[in-house]
Structures are given as C-alpha cells and as structure tokens.
Amino acid sequence: MSEQSMTSRASARHYLLLGALAFSWGSGFLFVELALLDLPPVMIAMGRTAVATAVLYAAALRQGHSLPALTGNGQLWLILTALAVVGHALPFFLMAQAQTDVDSNLAGIVIGATPLVTLVVVHFGTHDEKMTRTRIMGVAAGFLGIVVLLGPGALAGLRGGAGDVGSDLLAQTLLVLVCFSFAFNALIARRMAPLPPAVAAASVSLIATVMLLPFAIAVDPDLSLSPGWQAIGAVFFLGAIGTGAATLLFFILVQQRGANFVISANYLLPLVAMVLGVAFLAEQPRPEAFGAMALICGGIWLSNRPSK
C-alpha cells in the first residue's frame, strides 16, 4: 500500500464497505449463540471456515483467478498461514468459547477495544499509521460510544457477576486475546504482497479449515452429534456472510485504507446488534442510543482523518 493512499481521505464507497463489513462481523454474534445450542465451539469455528472456503473459492474462480501455486510461493503461503491463525482459526474458536460464559453485550464491550489495541500495534509496526492526537481522540470517542450504547451496566460484568467468577474472567481473557489477534491480523495483512481479495480470502479460509479439522474430529470422533436445522443454518450464515463476505471486504479495505480504518468496523458491531434486535426481536432502542451513534460515527471519522 502506498503512503499516498493513507494520506488521502476515505471515500463514501469506503465507508459503505466498512458498514457492510461491520454488518457481516456484527451479525455473527447472534448466529454463534444459535449454533452453540447444538454444537461445540471448535466445530462452529471449523464449519464457518469450511463454508467460507467454498463461497470464496467459487468467487475467485468466477473472477478468473486461482489459488497461488504451492511451489515458488513459500513466503506468501507462510504469511497466509499466519493470517489463517490470527484472523480465523484462533479468534473464531476463542469467541465461540467465550460466548458460552458471557453475554453478547459484554462481548461487544471487550471486542470494541480492538481499535485501541490496533492503534498501539500499528503505531509500532508501520511507518505511515502512527498515533496522533486526533486519532487517539477519535478512537476514545468511538469506544465511549460503545459504552454509552450498551449501558454502563454491561461493564459490571468485567468485575464478575453472580455466576462463576472464574469462568467469567477466563471468557473475558479470551476476548482480550481476540482483540490482539484481530490487531495483528490487520497488521500482517497490510504487509502482505497484493493479491486479488477473493484469492487471499479463499486461501486464508482454506488453511484455517485444515487447521481446525483435526480438532473438530477429536471433539466428535464417532460423529455422534446431530445438530438441528437451526444450528446448521446458523453455521452456514456464519460461513457465507460472517466469514466469507467479511474476509473479502477485510482484504479490500485493508489494502486500500490500512489497518486502523478496517478495524474501526468493530465500533459498529453493537449498532448492528441493536438494529437486528429492533428488526427481528421487536426490541426498543434506548434513548441514549442516538447519542451513542453520534459518538461512534464521529469517532470513526475523526480517527481516520488523513495525517498532514
């Protein structure tokens, strides 16, 4: 990526793609909850990457591309493997595991800290996405918007509720690891040699599926699990939208706008959850939600203003 692309302003198209990425990521929390009714976390993670591989490979073929050759591309496949670990296999399993012990509001608060982590990681890992006063203010405003949207009560879960405090603390630790995983994923993807987004996304999903498959088999070696159609449908949605479409959008945006921009989609995840709740669960948004939306959107804009 050229430094010139980082000093130019994001276009309306970039913000639309960011919103689509946020929807793809944010809707995943709901479908993970549905899949957990019948499936263990590792099988959910493997199932979503397998479905994503099929969808993305078909998209790459339709565009006239094929996966990189195994010979002569050792360094490229090494980077793709690293992306498969920190961007797919590890965070997908950790998030599903954490959601067995914490609610989605608390998960949203912790995952919402990803841009804060990314700001630090990218500052030391790049030469053209450094921390600035304006960027720090924008990131802080976005995170404050998440807290306002979900309510300060969600933060009480960070101290442990009335349930198993040890399990809650472990789940919160797993979510913090997800934040770091996503931050390093964006940094590594930014350093990768340019590939067609569909090819990069399909390759990463394929590697992640191969990595997760033996663990999924170990969980159910006798194939005794018989998930219902609701869980199966949830895994297919996670694969096609929450993983396939999201990974494709991720590579497009990280190549064009950089790590900090693409990770700011995490601020929009609670907004996605709120919209889905209003649309499908007849929930009523809290009055402060509109102020929170202003903080989040303003934070995204402020943190992604081009440096002078």
CB 24 within 8 A of CB 241: yes
The predicted structure's pLDDT at residue 212: 95
Whether 305 shows a pLDDT value over 70: the answer reads no
Say how far residue 275 (Cα) sits from the centre of its chain: 18
CB 51 within 8 A of CB 239: yes
Is residue 48 very low, low, confident or very high in pLDDT (cuts 50, 70, 90)? very high
The predicted structure's pLDDT at residue 268: 77
In this structure, is residue 68 part of a structural domain?
A: yes
Tokens of 65: 């591309």
What's the domain count of the chain? 1
Whether 228 shows a pLDDT value over 70: the answer reads yes
Among left, alpha and beta (phi > 0; psi -120 to 50; other), residue 284 is: beta
> Higher confidence at residue 29 or residue 306?
29
The predicted structure's pLDDT at residue 73: 84
CB burial of 223-241 (b: ≥16 within 10 Å; e: otherwise) equals eeeebeeebeebbbbbbbb
Whether 203 shows a pLDDT value over 70: the answer reads yes
Query: How far is Cα 206 from Cα 243, in angstroms, rounded to an integer?
Result: 12
Compute the average pLDDT of residues 147-156: 62
Q: What is the pTM of this model?
A: 0.79
Helices (H), the chain: 3-7, 12-26, 28-35, 41-62, 74-84, 90-98, 104-111, 114-125, 133-150, 165-191, 197-219, 229-237, 246-257, 259-263, 269-280, 289-303
Query: How far is Cα 210 from Cα 232, in angstroms, rounded to an integer?
Result: 20
Domain that holds residue 24: 3-303
The predicted structure's pLDDT at residue 187: 84
Is residue 163 very low, low, confident or very high in pLDDT (cuts 50, 70, 90)? low
The predicted structure's pLDDT at residue 136: 76
In this structure, is residue 308 part of a structural domain?
A: no
Comparing CA positions, the residue from 253, 271, 251 lying closest to residue 261 is 253
Residue-averaged pLDDT of the chain: 80
Q: 2-6, 13-17, 66-70, 218-222: which range is least confident on average?
A: 2-6
The predicted structure's pLDDT at residue 241: 93
